[in-house]
């Protein structure tokens, strides 16, 4: 799964290409350069400055879930270009290019998996497929993930990475916002937790629909999470933007996010949440005589991270 530079569609204020003017393996913050295998081994996090590179969906799944546990669903859904849309090139051509470049049928993979031995339904977006934009297929796939969560009685976990709704499907893309929100409601009605993980970027119609509705909202460091992108805000209002406008850290400060979790710690954090939410019937029946004191050591980050009792 090599990183490729496609002419993706983005929020109007994203740079014209995610790697504009630089190699995709060059850190945009500190200009460190990595071989592809180095970057993959480092979870695509810059060892020098901690910058989180965007992560293809399959790499995300490989990092996040128990090895071999992912069972893909709805893999054969493909876009149908209902509007027979053409801008400077036909939508069908963009879809074909994206599929060839990413090996994905659309910008989301869904299925079931386990994390730390705890089962969940999973929906993971891929920014490299047309900017992770949400059209009919992404919307339907998210609903399939929600269906799986409800059918199996397991939590739903989503990893968003998207510039927003897919313009080439216009109102149909817009309706996916309603559709995915209703899927979250369906999970809620089944009394199951929904954990929403936002990576860079989670903007537009995705952060304004399912991605904002996590019972627990997790963001990766530096992830842009605004509805309107910084450039639109700047151009429309003429306001001066704070340097961390819309970024995960400011979203945490402003109360829109529960946790900002570095990628290296995401699997443990997610596993810990799934463990917390797990029904008590899954536990050993003998009651512990007293709560277990938190261990010190390598999991100390969890204490730091959560302000909690540690791993």
Partner 1 sequence: MVRLTEEVHRLRRRFQERGEESDVWEVVQNARHRDRPYTLDYAERLFTDYVELHGDRVGGDDPALVAGIATYHRRCVVFLGHQKGRDLTERTHRNFGMARPEGYRKAIRAIELADRLGLPILTFIDTPGAYPGVGAEQGGQAGVIARSILALARADVPVVCAVIGEGGSGGALAIAVGDRVLMQENAIYSVISPEGCAAILWKDAGQAKKAAFAFRPIARACLDLGVIDAIVPEPPAGAHRDHDRAARLLDDAIRGALAEVEAEPAASRRSRRRAKFRAMGVWGMAEPDAAPAIT
Under rule CB under 5 A, residue 43 binds Zn ion: no
Give the footprint of partner 1 on residues 235-294 (CB under 8 A).
Answer: 236-237, 239, 241-242, 245-246, 250, 252-259, 272-273, 275-280, 283, 287-288, 290-292, 294
Applying CB under 8 A, among 42, 63, 85, 265 the residue interacting with partner 1 is 85
β-bridge partners, 119: 114
Among Zn ion, partner 1, none, what does residue 49 contact (CB within 5–8 Å per kind)?
Answer: Zn ion
Sheet of 216-219, strands arranged across: 71-73, 108-115, 118-125, 156-162, 194-202, 216-219, 259-260
Report the C-alpha gap between 161 and 58 in whole angstroms: 13
Under rule CB under 8 A, residue 228 binds partner 1: yes
Applying CB under 5 A, among 2, 30, 86, 241 the residue interacting with Zn ion is 30
Number of Cβ within 10 Å of residue 275's Cβ equals 15
CB nearer partner 1, residue 26 or residue 245: 245
The answer to whether 204 touches 163, Cβ cutoff 8 Å, is yes
Closest CB 223 distance from Zn ion, rounded Å:
16
Under rule CB under 8 A, residue 215 binds partner 1: yes
Closest CB 53 distance from Zn ion, rounded Å:
9
Under rule CB under 8 A, residue 4 binds partner 1: no
Applying CB under 5 A, among 46, 65, 219, 273 the residue interacting with Zn ion is 46
Question: DSSP string spanning 189-205?
Answer: HTT--EEEEEEEEE-HH
Residue 198, preceding bond cis, omega within 30 degrees?
no
**Token pair in block for residue 283:** 């536990």
Under rule CB under 8 A, residue 17 binds partner 1: no
Closest CB 183 distance from partner 1, rounded Å:
8
CB nearer partner 1, residue 35 or residue 279: 279
Q: What is the DSSP letter of 119?
A: E
Applying CB under 8 A, among 22, 23, 33, 78 the residue interacting with partner 1 is 78
Going by their DSSP bridges, the two strands 108-115 and 71-73 should be labelled as antiparallel
Under rule CB under 8 A, residue 1 binds partner 1: no
H/E stretch holding 108 reads strand 108-115
Report the C-alpha gap between 26 and 186 in whole angstroms: 42
Going by their DSSP bridges, the two strands 108-115 and 259-260 should be labelled as unpaired
Give the footprint of partner 1 on residues 131-160 (CB under 8 A).
Answer: 135-137, 139-140, 143
Under rule CB under 5 A, residue 148 binds Zn ion: no
Binding site for Zn ion (CB under 5 A): 27, 29-30, 32, 46, 48-49, 51
């Amino acid at each position: 799964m090599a990183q490729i530079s496609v002419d993706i569609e983005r929020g109007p204020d994203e740079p014209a290409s995610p790697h504009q003017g630089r190699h995709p393996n060059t850190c945009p913050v500190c200009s460190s350069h990595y071989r592809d295998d180095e970057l993959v081994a480092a979870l695509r996090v810059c060892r020098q400055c901690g910058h989180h590179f965007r992560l293809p969906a399959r790499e995300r799944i490989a990092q996040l879930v128990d090895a071999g546990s992912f069972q893909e669903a709805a893999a054969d859904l493909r876009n149908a270009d209902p509007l027979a849309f053409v801008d400077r090139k036909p939508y069908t051509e963009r879809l074909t290019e994206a599929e060839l470049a990413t090996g994905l049928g659309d910008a989301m993979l869904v299925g079931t998996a386990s994390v730390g031995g705890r089962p969940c339904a999973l929906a993971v977006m891929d920014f490299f497929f047309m900017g992770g934009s949400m059209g009919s297929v992404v919307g339907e796939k998210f609903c399939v993930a929600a269906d799986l969560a409800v059918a199996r009685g397991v939590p739903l976990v989503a990893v968003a990475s998207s510039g927003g709704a897919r313009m080439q499907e216009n109102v149909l893309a817009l309706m996916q916002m309603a559709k995915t929100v209703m899927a979250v409601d369906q999970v809620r009605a089944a009394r199951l937790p929904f954990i929403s993980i936002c990576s860079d970027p989670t903007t537009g119609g995705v952060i304004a629909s399912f991605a904002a509705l996590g019972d627990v909202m997790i963001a990766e460091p530096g992830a842009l999470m605004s509805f309107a992108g910084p450039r639109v805000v700047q151009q429309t209002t003429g306001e001066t933007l704070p340097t961390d406008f819309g970024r995960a850290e400011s979203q945490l400060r402003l109360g829109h996010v529960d946790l900002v979790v570095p990628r290296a710690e995401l699997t443990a954090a997610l596993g810990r949440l799934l463990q917390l939410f797990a029904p008590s019937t899954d536990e050993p029946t003998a009651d512990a005589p007293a709560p277990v004191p938190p261990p010190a050591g390598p999991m100390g980050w969890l204490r730091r991270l959560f302000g909690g009792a540690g791993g």
